[in-house]
């Protein structure tokens, strides 16, 4: 039987920015509960909830100080239990974010570990002696600077692949691993729908050999985790795996290997950065390359032995229409185009909160307006390296994580219906026009395109299981593909660009399934309008 998550559409909620319920400017769990009917109307099957655990908030909750407590800014454990229960009434499962590559430096384990070299928790983390009075090696943190932090008390360095307040856990220690499995079972027993696993590809690291992702013990650990936690349960698990190739994706998700349900792969993320440099080193997107990567992940994995997720956005990535589409004149058309090509592909689609109403990036003018630790650390690092402020701010506006983290735009009322107070991060002023209320009132809105695409998936096995086949020779700016299952044959056609494109296919169709302009009447020698996308049944 097909597991539920192969037919599902998942919606990511970034809790800090979703809905404030108590007037402190910060989204919270009761706020999410109050929006469940909206999500049910959209039609999603599960929520991936970014972290709501107890946290000092250095990385907005990805620095956890207690995995079995809810951060008071988000509510209480009773609220969390309520969310799981209420969501179920709306046919929505709650998928928790599992952040176990690292903890906060305020986690009880780390507070103990740093006390002395013989502390029972010392080996939960990764400690090394200085070499010639310096860092053990030149491993870098993803948030700028060295991955090693010197700790005065014991005269050793600890490893942190992210902020210095996010020490890496030592997965070589079986005691630590079983603590993590116990914690996962605590959440499974509450009735959650599964886990999204933060940077899971890093847990097999070997820092002495400078191995970060895809270390030799990664898959043995995942098998062990599976066996002790979700084996035999109806849960979905998705690994965040930046370094996945199609072959690696199969290693994670081939059902016979008993590891994860599916992966998030990020191959398209590198397309608008200078090769071999950082994401901040900008270059423009070549649509031919985007098309190539999209097709690669449809054709180079065997969906009988692997499963992939489909997404444009998340809390780390800028808004797709601002980045690769058009967030002005063709905002609505380009948003619908991206939705259509993604949601009719093979895999499990994810929607990031606000994507379904076409929320856009919002540029800052100076570093005081930036909240995200990744951008702030990079700003200082690059200033020291001699970059100009203007250059750095330009990179932050293009790629910074705050772009996706601005509060949800619910209505055109003051503070967008997100909060009655000052929001923790400035709202995009375009909420006056772009908001949920307006989207729901307009039958032609982006929202209803998403709603329709979700419905098409739920009602048509060809979307879930059909083979994918590229239509060749359409030019770089047009993506056209078939989905085929038994007698069912669907065709998806999209103009990825802002220029008109010619398209010609010598075939007749029976029915238009979805389109973002007037419905096409033929496939023969037609001209696709900017960002035009449609799907037809043959």
Residues that bind ligand TEU (CB under 6 A): 59, 62, 99, 142, 162, 198-199, 240, 242, 279, 315-316, 374, 401
State the Cα–Cα distance between residues 419 and 231, nearest whole angstrom. 41
Name which of 19 and 165 has its Cβ closer to Ca ion: 19
Pair 211, 205: CB distance under 8 Å: yes
Among Ca ion, ligand TEU, none, the one that 22 touches (CB under a kind-dependent 5 to 8 A) is Ca ion
Least Å distance, CB 59 to ligand TEU, is 5
Name which of 177 and 279 has its Cβ closer to ligand TEU: 279
State the Cα–Cα distance between residues 474 and 526, nearest whole angstrom. 12
Q: Which residues contact 275 (CB under 8 A, 6 or more apart)?
A: none
Name which of 212 and 457 has its Cβ closer to ligand TEU: 212
Residue carrying structure tokens 């989207």: 439
Among Ca ion, ligand TEU, none, the one that 24 touches (CB under a kind-dependent 5 to 8 A) is Ca ion
Among ligand TEU, Ca ion, none, the one that 26 touches (CB under a kind-dependent 5 to 8 A) is Ca ion
Name which of 73 and 104 has its Cβ closer to ligand TEU: 104
Candidate list 240, 250, 356, 402, residue with the active-site label: 240
State the Cα–Cα distance between residues 346 and 301, nearest whole angstrom. 10
The question of whether 240 is a catalytic residue gets the answer yes
Taking phi over 0 as left and psi of -120 to 50 as alpha, with beta for the rest, 533 belongs to beta
Q: Are strands 511-515 and 467-470 parallel, antiparallel or unpaired?
A: unpaired
- Binding residues (CB under 5 A) for Ca ion: these are 20, 22, 24, 26, 28
Candidate list 198, 251, 355, 532, residue with the active-site label: 198
State the Cα–Cα distance between residues 112 and 69, nearest whole angstrom. 19
Least Å distance, CB 60 to ligand TEU, is 7
Least Å distance, CB 139 to ligand TEU, is 14
Name which of 315 and 346 has its Cβ closer to ligand TEU: 315
434-443 LR contacts (CB < 8 Å, sep 24+):
434/357, 434/358, 434/359, 434/360, 434/409, 435/357, 435/409, 435/410, 435/411, 436/38, 436/357, 436/408, 436/409, 436/410, 436/411, 437/410, 437/411, 437/412, 438/411, 438/412, 439/356, 439/357, 440/41
Least Å distance, CB 418 to Ca ion, is 10
Render the burial of 92-124: b for 16+ CB within 10 Å, e for the rest: bbbbbbbbbbbbbbbbebbeebbeeeeeebbbb
Among ligand TEU, Ca ion, none, the one that 69 touches (CB under a kind-dependent 5 to 8 A) is none
Among ligand TEU, Ca ion, none, the one that 436 touches (CB under a kind-dependent 5 to 8 A) is none
Least Å distance, CB 71 to Ca ion, is 11
Among Ca ion, ligand TEU, none, the one that 401 touches (CB under a kind-dependent 5 to 8 A) is ligand TEU
Q: For the residues of 109-133, what is the DSSP string, one character each?
A: HHHHHTT-TT-TTGGGB-EE--BTT
The question of whether 86 is a catalytic residue gets the answer no
Name which of 273 and 497 has its Cβ closer to ligand TEU: 273
Least Å distance, CB 32 to ligand TEU, is 18
Pair 414, 407: CB distance under 8 Å: no
The residues carrying an active-site annotation are: 198, 240
């Amino acid at each position: 039987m097909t597991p539920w998550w192969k037919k599902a559409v998942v919606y990511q909620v970034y809790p800090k920015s979703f809905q404030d319920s108590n007037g402190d400017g910060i989204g919270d769990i009761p706020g999410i509960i109050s929006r469940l009917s909206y999500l049910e109307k959209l039609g999603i099957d599960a929520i991936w909830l970014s972290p709501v655990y107890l946290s000092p908030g250095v990385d907005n909750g990805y620095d956890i100080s207690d995995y079995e407590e809810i951060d008071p800014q988000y509510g209480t454990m009773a609220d969390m239990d309520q969310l799981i229960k209420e969501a179920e009434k709306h046919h929505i499962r709650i998928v928790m974010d599992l952040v176990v590559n690292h903890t906060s430096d305020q986690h009880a384990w780390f507070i103990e570990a740093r006390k002395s070299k013989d502390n029972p928790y010392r080996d939960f983390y990764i400690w090394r002696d200085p070499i010639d009075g310096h860092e053990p090696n030149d491993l870098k943190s993803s948030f700028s600077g060295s991955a090693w932090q010197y700790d005065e008390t014991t005269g050793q360095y600890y490893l942190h692949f992210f902020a210095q307040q996010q020490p890496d856990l030592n997965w070589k220690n079986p005691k630590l691993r079983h603590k993590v499995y116990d914690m996962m079972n605590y959440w499974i027993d509450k009735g959650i729908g599964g886990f999204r696993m933060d940077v899971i590809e890093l847990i097999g690291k070997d820092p002495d050999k400078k191995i970060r992702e895809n270390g030799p013990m990664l898959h043995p650990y995942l098998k062990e985790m599976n066996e002790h936690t979700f084996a035999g349960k109806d849960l979905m698990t998705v690994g965040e795996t930046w370094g996945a190739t199609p072959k690696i994706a199969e290693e994670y998700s081939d059902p016979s290997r008993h590891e994860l349900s599916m992966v998030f792969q990020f191959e398209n993320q590198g397309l608008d950065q200078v090769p071999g440099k950082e994401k901040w080193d900008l270059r423009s997107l070549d649509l031919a390359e985007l098309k190539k990567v999209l097709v690669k992940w449809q054709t180079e994995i065997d969906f009988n032995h692997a499963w992939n997720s489909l997404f444009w956005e998340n809390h780390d990535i800028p808004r797709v229409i601002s980045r690769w589409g058009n967030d002005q004149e063709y905002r609505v058309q380009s948003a619908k185009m991206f939705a259509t090509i993604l949601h009719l592909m093979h895999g499990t689609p994810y929607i990031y909160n606000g994507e379904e109403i076409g929320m856009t990036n919002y540029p800052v003018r100076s570093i005081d307006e930036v909240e995200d630790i990744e951008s702030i650390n990079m700003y200082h690092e690059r200033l020291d390296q001699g970059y100009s402020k203007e250059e750095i701010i330009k990179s932050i506006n293009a790629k910074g994580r705050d772009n996706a983290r601005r509060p949800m735009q619910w209505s055109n009322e003051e503070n967008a219906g997100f909060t009655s107070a000052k929001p923790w991060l400035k709202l995009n002023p375009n909420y006056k026009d772009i908001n949920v209320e307006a989207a729901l009132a307009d039958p032609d809105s982006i929202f209803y395109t998403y709603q329709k695409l979700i419905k098409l998936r739920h009602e048509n096995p060809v979307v879930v299981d059909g083979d994918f086949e590229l239509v060749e020779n359409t030019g770089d700016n047009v993506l056209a593909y078939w989905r085929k299952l038994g007698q069912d044959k669907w065709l998806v056609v999209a103009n990825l660009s802002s220029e008109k494109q010619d398209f010609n296919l010598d075939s007749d169709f029976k029915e238009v399934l979805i389109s973002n302009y007037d419905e096409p009447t033929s496939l023969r020698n037609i001209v696709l309008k900017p960002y035009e996308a449609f799907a037809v049944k043959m």
